[in-house]
Structure 1
Amino acid sequence: MENKKPLSIIKIGGNIIDNPSELKQFLNDFSKIEGHKVLVHGGGKSATKMAKSIGLVPQMIDGRRITDAPMLEVAVMIYAGQINKNIVAQLQALETNAMGFSGADGNLIQSVKRNHPTIDYGFVGDVQKINTSLLETLISNEIVPVFCAITHDKNGQLLNTNADTIASELAIALSAVFEVTLNYCFEKPGVLYDSEDDSSVIPTMDTALYSELKTKGAIHSGMIPKLDNCFNSLSKGVQKIRIGHHQMLQNTNSVCTTIQL
């Protein structure tokens, strides 16, 4: 069997996006990654800021956003519009031939509206299907896909979807045709034993340690869905997963957390 080509999937969070100089440095690092790559971005803080400016009150439950119709309009405008196109334009300036996508474009990511027994999440999507063949064609033609956190249900409805989950589902689907490394980049150097102490990075996280730290409350809120996604991805064919500051993309000795089963 032919060896699979390596593919780097990188997800960045709101704290990088909200800081223009940090974003510029990240995109510079990202542009230098050799070989095939995909970028997935969140942008929750920008959406929250915009929502508040027009009188909406953002709601979160366990690190996940409740998305009513007005909030969906804001999310689409900020994620798929302002943030996505700004990133694509900056990557073009760095000689990286990026193309921005929502899940609706090319039917690349199809979702279903979340059906929860007790919580109405509104227009929130859970990923059902990735158009792997179209993505493989794009990537093989040296296009760098840049995904925002908006998907669709194939019935005309856009859906707000957790960006960590999108990165995870893309990694799982594309691991059928590439050797995938998934990197979650945020403002911290890795997953921390103590969220107030940046020097307390956990170098390697496995399921046993994860369970123990969740029980102690050391790992909580938004880090829980992130790590759940990581372990799910590894169990379904993703080669390697790292969490840390984007410095790890260019510096192999950079401190970060490697996730393993």
Structure 2
Amino acid sequence: MREGLKIFKIGGGIIDDEAQLGHFLRELARIPGQKILVHGGGKGASQMLLDLGIEPQMVQGRRITDAPTLDIVTMFYAGKTNKQVVALLQAAGVNALGLSGADGNAIRAVKRPVKEIDYGFVGDLPEGSVNTALLGQLLQAGITPVFCAITHNGLGQLLNTNADTIASTLARALAAQYEVELHFCFEKDGVLADINDENSVIPQIVPAQYQQLKAKGVIAAGMVPKLDNAFAALEAGVERVVIENALKINEPVKTVLCRS
């Protein structure tokens, strides 16, 4: 029987709020078993860019990462933010280890090709990009890996990579070794049937139901890429995907995505 593994992804909204981040990490520490945490960058990198006179560039919610921007996001994501998260987890009794994709060759990406938009130094994750042997060794040693949104291409180039994509890719890659649960944690209690009603959490969604909800426009546009990734992870062998409030990960209200 495969061991269980829970992979948690938290977004920038939680990272930006010191009190909420601390609360989430303390709740995470209460969850037994093997865990991996993936975190986004928050607004700090954009503010640092502005402070240095560099205007952040975003297209369709995606950051354009030129060379100066890469320097800043690497400092902020892999440095300040990652190490602060690790320090808080250590304080909560979790033996956490902060990682970028370059550390231990944990996650190797490829630079996104230029098509209609040149995203700059942005990494995409092909099959086989995760060093599952390394992660297995860390988990067996009782270490909780904490990934920021920086990867590398194996040729000396760091790359900015979407944190949701990192979490989903880790889950798919490790599903052969573990019974993986993938948790997307953000500000809402789950997927809402009515975007204006915080209490309208849909407790469970299966693929056919998801297609119906998309067709009816029930699921907000910003949630669609996240759920598309989630169902792709289920198809790739992940046991289940959970959409939940980062402040309530030990409470029952959440949305669980299932294969059937």
TM normalised by structure 1 equals 0.92
1:241 Cα deviation after fit: 0.6
Question: Partner residue of 1:165?
Answer: 165
- C-alpha distance in structure 2 between counterparts of 1:234 and 1:45, whole Å: 30
Structure 1, unmatched stretches of 5+, are none
Deviation for aligned residue 1:229: 1.3
Say whether the 8 Å CA contact 2:8–2:183 is kept in structure 1. yes
Residue identity matched to 1:45: K
Equivalent-residue separation in structure 2 for 1:121 and 1:106 (angstroms): 26
Contact 1:108 1:134 survives alignment (8 Å): yes
Distance apart, 1:94 and its partner CA: 1.3
Alignment equivalent of 1:31, drawn from 17, 29, 38? 29
1:55 paired residue number:
53
**TM-fit CA distance, 1:220:** 4.5
Distance 2:164 2:91 in 1: 26
Aligned to 1:8: 6
Q: Gapped runs of 5+ residues in structure 2?
A: none
Alignment of 1:174-253 (within 5 A): 174-251=174-251
For 2:6, what is the secondary structure of its paired residue? strand
Displacement, 1:193?
3.0
Q: State the secondary structure of the residue aligned to 1:249.
A: coil
**Equivalent residue number for residue 149 of structure 2:** 149
Displacement of 1:221: 4.9
Task: Rate the CA distance shift 1:211–1:55 in 2: closer, same or farther, 3 A.
Answer: farther
Distance (Å, rounded) in 2 between the aligned partners of 1:72 and 1:207: 37
Amino acid at match of 2:177: V
- Tell me the residue number matched to 1:89: 87
Distance between the aligned counterparts of 2:222 and 2:113, measured in 1? 20
**Identity of aligned pairs, percent?**
54
Letter in 1 for 2:136: E
Question: What is the TM-score with the length of structure 2 in the denominator?
Answer: 0.93
| Counterparts of 1:61 and 1:201, CA distance in 2 | 30
Deviation (angstroms), 1:54: 2.1
Map 1:98-177 → 2, pairs under 5 A? 98-128=96-126, 129-177=129-177
CA distance in 2, matches of 1:67, 1:22: 28
Contact 1:80 1:102 in 2 (8 A): yes
Amino acid in structure 1 at the alignment position of 2:238? V
**Alignment correspondent of 1:46:** 44
Contact 2:77–2:150 (Cα < 8 Å) also in 1: yes
Query: Structure 1 residues 122, 210: CA separation in 2 closer, same or farther (over 3 Å shift)?
Result: farther
Give CA deviations for 1:139-167 in whole Å, capped at 9, x if unaligned.
00001100000000001110110101101
Counterparts of 1:181 and 1:25 in 2: how far apart (Å)?
21
Contact 1:113 / 1:125 at 8 angstroms: preserved in 2? Answer: yes
> Alpha carbon RMSD of aligned pairs, Å?
1.7
Measure the CA separation in 2 of the matches of 1:165 and 1:82.
21
